[in-house]
Amino acid sequence: MSELTEIQIPVSEPYLTGEAKSYVLNCLDSGWISSKGSYVSELEGLFAQRIGVAHAISVSNGTAALHLAVLAANIGPGDEVIIPDLTFAATANAVLHCGAVPILVDVSLQDWTVDVGLIEAAITDKTKAIIPVHLYGNLANMTAINELAARYQLLVIEDCAESLGALYHGSPTGSLGDLGCFSFFANKLITTGEGGMVTTNSSELAQKIRSLRDHGMSVSRRYWHEIAGLNYRMTNLQAAVGVSQMAYFDQFVEKRRYIEQQYRHYLSKLPGMIFMRVPPQCQSVNWLTSVRVDPALTGGISAEDIAMQLRLQGIETRAFFFPLHQQPPYKADDVQFPVSLLLSNQGLSLPTYYRLTNAQIEFVCRSIYNLFSVPFTSE
């Protein structure tokens, strides 16, 4: 066996601009390297404007954003929060670290987001909130979720970590519920290295989140603590990178949509390569182009087979998340999650990043065609 080929095409890579470097140097030269400094408020202002909300509160990462959102909603021991079974663990961890219980709900086979037909049955008198996760940039059915939330007086916290840039009936993700939580990890649409943001139109929730992220300290009286808080602040260094990224927002979104179109164009021609359904009211953002590989239709070729074939060509891919219900902290043995399990087994994410070229996309697709023994033409 030969050594594994070096990775030529990663699944994801950040695009950092020249402005990023000069803004970061400004921080270093001026000494404003912690969370005080003009880039922090500038980024919050740009972000609030972009999402169309009254308040954007920067935080140290996306998990902190979720944790603060759940804390600010006064959710704690004895409470339940509904989340999809197929998501990154941070969604569930935020609920658990508030002392509440995440109630898992299966996802939709077509959309891959929470199955809204199953939410109502999961609501009890302990339910306080729903956290829809906009997986791979596809927006959950917010109309149905907001209707249920209104009927049962629940809070809606969007997990927007993968959906920045997506629109629902023309409105940006992060403005569709009571609170929106974003991540700026290196593989997200906008990155600050590590970082995150909470968005809301509620002044009360915004004030509480600002206080919680800064030790629960009184704004008018320093070192007087009104609530027990945390230190989840974003640094000026991170915000400087964030401000530089915001200038490329539209280009980032456009390029990712284009990449998905290309992959869909080529791969939809193969049997059993199934893309998520984007609901008509939703303009998804394609965080990572992802495909479900159904071996019953591909002639036995699995997502894992494709991953291995691509890896031999120096192409990196990414498996889907494991269903939460199977993992020790979230175990739910008494409920079935057939769709989440199926997607987790059959899902595969393909290289998706700003600098990915047409030739690289074609190379990825040609490698997959080879495995299917189908001749590839770039038409």
Ligand X SMILES: *Cc1c(COP(=O)(O)O)cnc(C)c1O
On the 0-12 / 13-18 / 19+ scale of CB atoms within 10 A, 358 is: exposed
Query: Which strands, in side-by-side order, build the sheet including 171-172?
Result: 171-172, 167-168, 282-283
Q: Which residue's CB is nearer to ligand X, number 115 or number 367?
A: 115
Q: At what angle do helices 303-312 and 358-372 cross, to 10 degrees?
A: 120
Q: Measure the CA–CA gap between 121 and 135, rounded to whole angstroms.
A: 22
Whose CA is closest to 313, among 363, 252, 375?
Answer: 363
Q: Measure the CA–CA gap between 253 and 164, rounded to whole angstroms.
A: 9
Q: Which residue's CB is nearer to ligand X, number 185 or number 263?
A: 185
Q: Which residue's CB is nearer to ligand X, number 91 or number 286?
A: 91
Please, what is the minimum distance in Å from the beta carbon of residue 30 to ligand X?
27
Q: Which residue's CB is nearer to ligand X, number 152 or number 249?
A: 249
Q: Measure the CA–CA gap between 94 and 59, rounded to whole angstroms.
A: 14
On the 0-12 / 13-18 / 19+ scale of CB atoms within 10 A, 200 is: buried
Whose CA is closest to 129, among 66, 87, 174, 81?
Answer: 81
Radius of gyration of the chain (CA): 21
Please, what is the minimum distance in Å from the beta carbon of residue 94 to ligand X?
8
Please, what is the minimum distance in Å from the beta carbon of residue 100 to ligand X?
17
Please, what is the minimum distance in Å from the beta carbon of residue 193 to ligand X?
10
Please, what is the minimum distance in Å from the beta carbon of residue 286 to ligand X?
14
Q: Which residue's CB is nearer to ligand X, number 115 or number 162?
A: 162
Q: Which residue's CB is nearer to ligand X, number 90 or number 356?
A: 90
Catalytic residue among 188, 208, 255, 331: 188
Residue 188 annotated in active site: yes
Please, what is the minimum distance in Å from the beta carbon of residue 183 to ligand X?
3
372 φψ region: left (φ > 0), alpha (ψ -120 to 50), beta (else): alpha
Q: DSSP letters of 23-60?
A: HHHHHHHHT--SS-SHHHHHHHHHHHHHHT-SEEEEES
Under the rule (CB under 6 A), what is the footprint of ligand X?
Answer: 61-63, 87-88, 90-91, 133, 159, 161-162, 183, 185, 196
Active site residue ranges: 188
